[in-house]
Amino acid sequence: MIKQIPTRVLDSCFDLMFDFVDQRLPPLQRNFSPVEELDKPLIITSVEGQIPDDFPEGFYVRNGSNPLFGGFKSSKSILGQSNHTWIEGEGMLHAIYFNKSSNDSSWTVSYNNKYVHSETFKLEKQKKRPSFLPAIEGHSAAILAAYLFNWLRFGKANKDISNTSVFELAGKLYAAAESHLPQEIDLFTLQTLGEYDVNGAWNRPFTSHPKKVPGTGELVIIGVDAVKPYVELGVISADGKRLLHKVDLQYKRSSICHDLGITHRYNVLLDCPLTIDVGRLVRGGPLIKYEGDQYARIGVMPRYGGASSIQWFGVEPNITFHILNCFEDGSEVVVRGCRARESIIPGPEMGIDKFEWFSEGFKPWKSIPQGQNDGSSRDGSLLSRCYEWRLNTETGDVKERYLTGAEFPLDFPMLNEEFIGSRNKYGYTQVVDADASSRSGMGKYGGLAKLYLEEPDRSSQGGNSSEGFVKVEYHMFPENIFCSGAAFVPKLGGSEEDDGWIISFVHNEATDISQVYIVDAKSFSPEPVAKISIPCRVPYGFHGSYIPLPLRSSYL
């Protein structure tokens, strides 16, 4: 329950002190703007190509930011200004349902969307106006005031947004964002059923990227907070009812850990220099800051270990938001993810032009003059490449290298989830369209990539391996078409790792038409096997997942 302490006097002070104003989106950011919630599902009638006969029945669901009241707001007062960022919009789920007729094997396809109705969503919806002050980006005094007023009025520093990802546990679906607890979602209606706190055992933020342990079905989670304990790890039982393990990892700072990894025996922890520091905010600095001159490290700990059992490995400073996979290779723990030189979050400090800052950070590597891409310039610093760390648990040595070249930036990695924690041959990512991202000042993804992790790249002249990179195959979209929330769909009964499809929402900015593409993971480069047109616009979002129905879980 939201703490009921607001008074008429406090609300009057709030109304007198703060004004909410709209943030205008440039034309090239139009598909980042929100859409309305549907009253009922829409039947899809336009399918180009064919949904494969062996495609599993179920639904593809993607989470994303969809701010209330027409778009993002800024709050202005005598203390300065604070702004909503794209990661702070209310969560909205977009889902495509695939149902197969038992008579003639024809497909019925429907689309639905629903807001994640968190407690704070319902509060603002009832008030019919913004009530929480933006508390991440802005002038320090304005951010401090936002924290104070939000706490006094509602008992929490910020909204419960649940806008980042979805995951399944024990036949139940959850929407998550690491600022708060997940929300349970009805599988068929997308209605919000309530917060998930593991029967009262977990009372802190919850990662957007929990990992299901191979073989046991247990779920490994972490939670990051601005105050000590900064980072805690938990292990949830396969039935979702019990917290089997909870430990303070004793981080020295509040490091924003967006992802974690697992192997068959270990948990893999990231500690990158993207930090939350309330003391820094009080001193006039930003609440969240990427400190590229500070240390980065990766930790390896036994599944049920404590803080003292973590073996830390110092690595080159970086920001890695997303892990592709981790596995054990003899005495080494191998970690693969998408690594960048600078963090896209929280964006520039106040007073710096936001559009120019993002445009520089997304500047295509190919356009940067030779000799200026050595890290001394901000150009292209927000773009990520696939990267590998080999951590030797016997010697403490670290080997790190890029897996992919600078031709195409890659992020939002995915794989056949049957291989989480095991050595995998293939990985998949979204491809950043650096040109479009730089022009618009927001990240846009103009294709998909398939990584052949066991095959060297021999595309260079003479057929020699190119700088130790791995082979990459691309599925690029036509101009002005961009994707979000791509996910791997395994073929039922598939015998090989890449038996399946990549499914993704896409949007054509020239025609303003949104579709779902289904791409054959084996025959990757050709046209999608199916393009499903949606009779309304679907904004860009974050992470998606495919949920087969009925759920076939050996852990239920």
Q: Per residue of the chain (556 residues), what is the pLDDT tens digit?
A: 444 445 677 888 888 899 999 998 889 999 999 999 999 999 999 999 999 999 999 999 999 999 999 998 999 999 999 998 888 999 999 999 999 988 877 999 999 999 999 999 999 999 999 999 999 899 999 999 999 999 998 989 899 999 999 999 999 999 999 999 999 999 999 999 999 999 999 999 999 999 999 899 999 999 999 999 999 999 999 999 999 999 999 999 999 999 999 999 999 999 999 999 999 999 999 999 999 999 999 999 999 999 999 999 999 999 999 999 999 999 999 999 999 999 998 888 888 888 898 889 888 876 555 444 445 577 889 999 999 999 999 999 999 999 999 889 999 999 999 999 999 999 999 999 999 999 998 999 999 999 999 999 887 544 445 568 999 999 999 999 999 999 999 998 888 999 999 999 999 999 999 999 999 999 999 999 999 999 999 999 999 999 998 865 444 4
Q: Is 258 annotated as a binding residue?
A: yes
In a domain, 370, yes or no: no
472-498 burial string, b = 16+ CB within 10 Å, else e? beebebeeebbbbbbbbbbbeeeeebb
Whole-model pTM? 0.94
Phi, psi of 450, rounded to the nearest 5 degrees = -115, 120
Q: Helix 140-154 to helix 8-17 angle, to the nearest 10 degrees?
A: 160
- How far is it, in rounded angstroms, from Cα 272 to Cα 307? 17
Other CB atoms closer than 10 Å to residue 279's CB: what's the count? 7
From residue 344, give the alpha-carbon distance in Å to each of 11, 414, 442, 493: 34, 20, 10, 40
Residue 102: per-residue pLDDT: 81
Q: How many domains, in total, are found in the chain?
A: 1
- How far is it, in rounded angstroms, from Cα 420 to Cα 427? 11
- Altogether, the residues listed in the chain come to a count of 556
**Nearest one of 515, 498, 514, 501 to 548, comparing CA atoms:** 501
From residue 245, give the alpha-carbon distance in Å to each of 58, 198, 286: 32, 12, 34
- How far is it, in rounded angstroms, from Cα 191 to Cα 515? 23
In a domain, 2, yes or no: no
H-type alpha helices, 401-488? 434-440
Q: Is 180 annotated as a binding residue?
A: no
Q: Using CA of residue 30, residue 533, residue 519, residue 545, what is the dihedral sign?
A: positive
In a domain, 374, yes or no: no
Contacts for 487 with CB less than 8 Å, ≥ 6 apart: 60, 62, 414, 502, 503, 504, 543, 544, 545, 546
In a domain, 389, yes or no: yes
- How far is it, in rounded angstroms, from Cα 153 to Cα 226? 20
Q: Is 507 annotated as a binding residue?
A: no
**Nearest one of 443, 506, 515 to 86, comparing CA atoms:** 443
In a domain, 75, yes or no: yes
Q: Is 117 annotated as a binding residue?
A: no
Beta strand pairing status for 274-276 and 288-290?
A: antiparallel
Phi, psi of 153, rounded to the nearest 5 degrees = -85, -35
| Residue 92, amino acid | M
In a domain, 390, yes or no: yes
Residue 182's domain spans which residues?
7-363+379-548
In a domain, 42, yes or no: yes
Q: What are residue 400's DSSP bridge partners?
A: 389
Place of tokens 């191979």: 214
Residue 227: per-residue pLDDT: 94
400: region left, alpha or beta (phi > 0 left; psi from -120 to 50 alpha): beta
In a domain, 432, yes or no: yes
